Each structure stands twice: as structure tokens, then as C-alpha cells.
């Protein structure tokens, strides 16, 4: 048997088990793909592990586990967003004047390495992990694998492209306001945003410390689960870490699952092609055989919480995260859009910060009641439309506000979420582009959400296949 190049985790496990390939051969193939894809899109990576180091790592694994039981991620290539520390690599957060050489590897990355994964490199992102379009980086703008005229989504832009272009099996990124879910929909991927504080954020440069969530991008729900099972643990040295008691809920669903969708006034914001695919998806969800039943509920606390992220004093958390840098450098060396966000953040008072914090607590409690009384799962379009690169060039801030319509509230009201690729639409060049939806549920329902996604996907419209050759 020969390896067919499939980088999904079950395929690699099978190929290693039957001798079809070895980690060294996979690394050689992956590095060749990385070089070839760089001719199409040179903005995916910030740092790539040298061929000699990557091959040495593969050989080390082969020797260490010859004839032995393999660890969970044995020989699986992965990438890491360049806001997460990897020892001896520069952590830049897409800002060269901020960059430092990491002295230690973040626990979330080390756990993958300890389970046999092979790091290929660190990926491009929007500066300071601030944005949803994928544009704000001095290292270039990664493009959607479906059409290079379109944005990749952000802020975990390079992470998404590295997976969608079949350069790695999965990527570790972060999601504060949609930074995993947006790139997922734009590149036909699964984006798993787990329960807040269930994955260690030590060694991760914070964008907004209380709303950051280390997350996973993969091509399948199963691969996202495999990575999440490795990186999720209680890190008592992380001051925000959550005890495992939150996961005591059984990963099960009632016989009839009650779901809700956003109100018509918000769904009217979908672009025409997005709206058509959404209606196709909705018809499948509403079908009697789906096992789902649509419920009436109050969406207003979700909407109100969504506005808090960038429309209140909450944005000043970003000033806290980069306070030392800003005192030394100001905003002159930042991308203009990022600088504008920081400048806007400076006008808030402590009184406003507490007022907004108390408002958010109220929204969170109301969301809890909606799930208790009316909902099992909230299902939303992941975003409202797919922006072109040239559109973001003209309006660098507009995209951020528009694209987060259904993403920004999730972490603020303590929901876990999984973005899944469903359906396709055709752009003005006749190319098939991906659409996607996001399933959201209360904290601790991560496994239940992944199971529901796997149950729904076979009966939902399929996405097109991107040409990544």
C-alpha cells in the first residue's frame, strides 16, 4: 500500500500502522507542499521549521516508538498561530517591533508535541490578533483557498490556510470575537471554539485576556476533537483556568433538540448568495426527520452582548494587553486599522468599564435563561458575507464590524461553538465558494456540540472542493 497524501488524523494513523508511509516521508511531502503553495500565497507563514529540524523530529519519533504503542498525535503535522510561544521562535503577533524570542513553549503546543505531533511552523495573523478579515499584517494578506481575490478571514488567517491548503492536519489558534470561526467558513473548515478557560492560555499573547479562547482549525470534526482532547486540561498556573467539573454534563441530547436562529432583521443582513444557502440549510434543519424543532426565544441578550465587544469600554482590555509596548512605541508602528482601535480605546473611564461589566453580567444571565427555558442549541450563519481583498483595502474597519454579527457574543456570554462548512455559492467569476453555520451551546457542552455537528453534516448541503494544487 502507498500513502495517498491524506493528512486527516485517522488516515495518517492507518498509513503508519500498515507501513504505507512514515513520519519522515510525511514531513518531506508536507515541506514540499509548503514550498509549492508559497508560490501561490506567500503570506501563510511567519516562521517555518527548518527541513533538517523537522526531519530530525520525525526520525526521533520513528525510533522512539518502533514496535511500541503510538501516542495520540504520532506523526501528525500541525501549525501554530504566531501569537503562541514556541521556544526559540520569535513571537511577533504580526508586529515586528513587538517581537521577542520565546524562552519556553506554551503548554498548549507542548502537549501536542508530547503526543507525537510534528510542528511545521508558526502562521501569519492579523496584528495583535485584532480583526476578522485577515488583512492587518506586515507579513502579507493570506487569501481564501477557494479564490485568491477573497479574504481568508482572521485573525487566525495563516492557520486556516495552512489547514485548508493541506499543508498540515490541524492548527492551534485563538478566538476572541470569531478569529477561528471566520477563517473556518472562508476556507471550508471546521473551527472548534471550546468552553472558555478550558484550554490553557499561558504562553499566548492576549488580545483580550478574559475573552481569549485557544481553539482548533481542522478539516473534519473528528480531527478537531482529536486535537482538542490533547490540548484541553486544567492548568492551575493559568489564573483563568476552569476546573473539569464544568464538563460533568453528559454529551447527550434530548430526543427532540430545540434550536433557535437569529431574528429576521439580522438575517436580512446576509448577502444574497449567503441568504440563499442559509434558506437551503434551514429547510434541512426544519425537516421532520432532522430530529430538531425550531423554538421561539429572545435573541436580544445575544445581540446586546455582541455590541459590547467593540462598542464599549470592553475594548480597553487590548490596551492592558499591550500597555508596555504602547508606552514605549505608541501606535506609530501599528497597522492603521489596529492603531485606530487602540486610539478609540483610550477615552473610556473606570466608571464606564464597571458599567459595561455589569451590563454584560446581565446579558449573560439572560442568555442562561434562554438556554434553560427555550433552547438546546443556537444555530447561526457564521457570518453575513465574504469580503473581497480589495473591499477591505478600501474599508479596513467596516469588515470587522459587519463580519462579527454572529460571532462576537460567544465568549462574552460563556458559550462553546463549532463552525462547520455547509453549502456553496457561486461568485462573480463563476467559482464555487464555501458557506458555513455555527452551532452554539452553554459551557461544557463541547463534546455534545461536536456530536451534533457530525450528526447534522451528512444531511446538510455539501461545500465545493478548493483547488489547492
pLDDT tens-digit readout, 245-254: 666 555 688 8
Burial class (CB in 10 A: 0-12, 13-18, 19+), 179: buried
Question: Is 81 considered catalytic here?
Answer: yes
pLDDT for res 247: 65
Question: Is 344 considered catalytic here?
Answer: no
pLDDT for res 246: 63
- CATH class, range 1-294+377-469: alpha beta
CA 347 → CA 305, 319, 327, 340, 461, distances in Å? 21, 11, 16, 12, 46
Query: How far is C-alpha 457 from the geometric centre of its chain's CA atoms?
Result: 19
Q: Which residue has the higher pLDDT, 395 or 364?
A: 364
Which range has the worst mean pLDDT, 121-130, 230-239, 247-256?
247-256
State the pLDDT confidence band at 465, using cuts at 50, 70 and 90: confident
pLDDT for res 310: 84
Indicate which residue of 137, 162, 179, 215 is catalytic.
179
Cα distance between residue 312 and residue 307, in whole Å:
8
Share the mean pLDDT of the chain: 95
Cα distance between residue 120 and residue 106, in whole Å:
16
Task: Report the percent of the chain where pLDDT is more than 90.
Answer: 87
Indicate which residue of 79, 81, 208, 215 is catalytic.
81
423 pLDDT higher than 90: yes
Q: What is the pLDDT of residues 265-292, one digit of tens each?
A: 999 999 999 999 999 999 999 999 999 9
What is the dihedral sign for C-alpha 230, 236, 238, 243? positive
Which is it for strands 190-193 and 415-426: parallel, antiparallel or unpaired?
A: antiparallel
Average pLDDT over residues 239-260: 81
What is the dihedral sign for C-alpha 423, 426, 427, 430? positive
pLDDT for res 467: 80
Instruction: For the chain, give every domain's residue range.
Output: 1-294+377-469
DSSP-assigned beta bridge partners for residue 47: 122
Question: Is 462 considered catalytic here?
Answer: no
Most confidently predicted of 3-12, 108-117, 228-237: 108-117
**Does residue 3 contact residue 25 with C-beta atoms inside 8 Å?**
yes
Indicate which residue of 155, 157, 159, 215 is catalytic.
155
DSSP-assigned beta bridge partners for residue 442: 415
363 pLDDT higher than 60: yes
State the pLDDT confidence band at 384, using cuts at 50, 70 and 90: very high
Which range has the worst mean pLDDT, 107-121, 144-158, 396-410, 434-448?
396-410
**Does residue 454 contact residue 218 with C-beta atoms inside 8 Å?**
no
Cα distance between residue 169 and residue 33, in whole Å:
13
Cα distance between residue 191 and residue 169, in whole Å:
13
463 pLDDT higher than 80: yes
Amino acid at each position: 500500500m502507498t500513502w495517498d497524501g491524506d493528512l486527516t488524523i485517522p488516515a495518517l494513523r492507518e498509513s503508519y500502522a500498515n507501513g504505507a508511509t512514515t513520519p519522515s516521508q510525511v514531513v518531506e511531502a508536507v515541506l514540499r507542499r509548503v514550498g509549492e503553495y508559497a508560490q501561490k500565497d506567500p503570506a501563510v507563514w511567519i516562521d517555518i521549521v527548518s527541513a533538517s529540524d523537522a526531519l530530525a523530529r520525525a526520525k526521533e519519533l520513528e525510533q522512539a516508538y518502533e514496535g511500541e504503542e503510538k501516542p495520540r498525535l504520532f506523526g501528525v503535522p500541525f501549525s501554530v498561530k504566531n501569537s503562541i510561544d514556541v521556544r526559540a521562535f520569535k513571537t511577533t503577533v504580526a508586529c515586528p517591533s513587538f517581537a521577542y524570542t520565546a524562552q519556553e513553549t506554551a503548554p498548549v503546543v507542548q502537549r501536542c508535541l508530547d503526543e507525537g505531533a510534528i510542528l511545521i511552523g508558526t502562521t501569519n495573523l492579523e496584528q495583535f490578533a485584532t480583526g476578522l478579515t485577515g488583512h492587518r499584517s506586515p507579513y502579507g494578506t493570506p487569501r481564501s483557498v477557494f479564490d485568491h481575490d477573497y479574504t481568508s478571514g482572521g485573525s487566525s488567517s495563516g492557520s486556516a490556510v495552512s489547514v485548508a491548503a493541506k499543508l498540515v492536519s490541524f492548527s492551534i489558534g485563538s478566538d476572541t470575537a470569531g478569529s477561528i470561526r471566520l477563517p473556518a467558513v472562508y476556507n471550508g473548515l471546521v473551527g472548534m471554539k471550546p468552553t472558555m478557560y478550558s484550554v490553557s492560555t499561558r504562553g499566548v499573547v492576549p488580545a483580550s485576556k478574559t475573552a481569549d479562547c485557544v481553539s482548533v482549525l481542522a478539516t473534519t470534526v473528528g480531527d478537531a476533537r482529536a486535537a482538542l482532547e490533547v490540548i484541553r486540561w486544567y492548568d492551575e498556573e493559568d489564573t483563568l483556568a476552569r476546573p473539569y467539573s464544568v464538563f460533568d454534563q453528559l454529551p447527550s441530547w434530548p430526543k427532540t433538540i430545540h434550536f433557535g436562529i437569529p431574528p429576521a432583521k439580522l438575517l436580512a443582513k446576509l448577502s444574497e448568495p449567503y441568504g440563499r444557502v442559509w434558506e437551503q440549510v434551514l429547510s434541512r434543519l426544519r425537516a421532520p426527520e432532522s430530529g430538531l424543532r425550531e423554538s421561539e426565544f429572545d435573541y436580544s441578550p445575544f445581540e446586546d452582548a455582541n455590541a459590547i465587544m467593540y462598542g464599549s469600554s470592553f475594548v480597553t482590555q487590548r490596551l492592558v494587553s499591550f500597555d508596555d509596548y504602547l508606552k514605549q512605541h505608541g501606535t506609530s508602528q501599528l497597522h492603521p486599522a489596529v492603531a485606530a482601535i487602540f486610539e478609540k480605546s483610550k477615552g473610556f473611564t473606570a466608571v464606564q468599564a464597571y458599567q459595561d461589566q455589569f451590563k454584560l453580567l446581565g446579558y449573560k444571565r439572560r442568555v442562561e435563561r434562554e438556554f434553560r427555558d427555550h433552547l438546546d442549541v443556537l444555530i447561526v450563519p457564521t457570518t453575513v458575507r465574504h469580503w473581497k481583498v480589495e473591499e477591505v483595502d478600501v474599508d479596513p474597519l467596516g469588515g470587522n464590524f459587519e463580519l462579527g454579527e454572529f460571532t462576537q457574543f460567544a465568549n462574552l456570554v460563556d458559550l462553546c461553538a463549532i463552525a462547520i462548512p455547509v453549502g456553496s455559492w457561486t461568485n462573480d467569476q463563476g467559482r464555487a465558494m464555501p458557506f458555513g453555520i455555527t452551532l452554539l451551546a452553554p459551557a461544557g457542552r463541547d463534546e455534545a456540540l461536536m456530536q451534533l455537528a457530525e450528526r447534522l453534516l451528512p444531511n446538510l448541503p455539501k461545500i465545493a472542493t478548493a483547488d489547492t494544487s
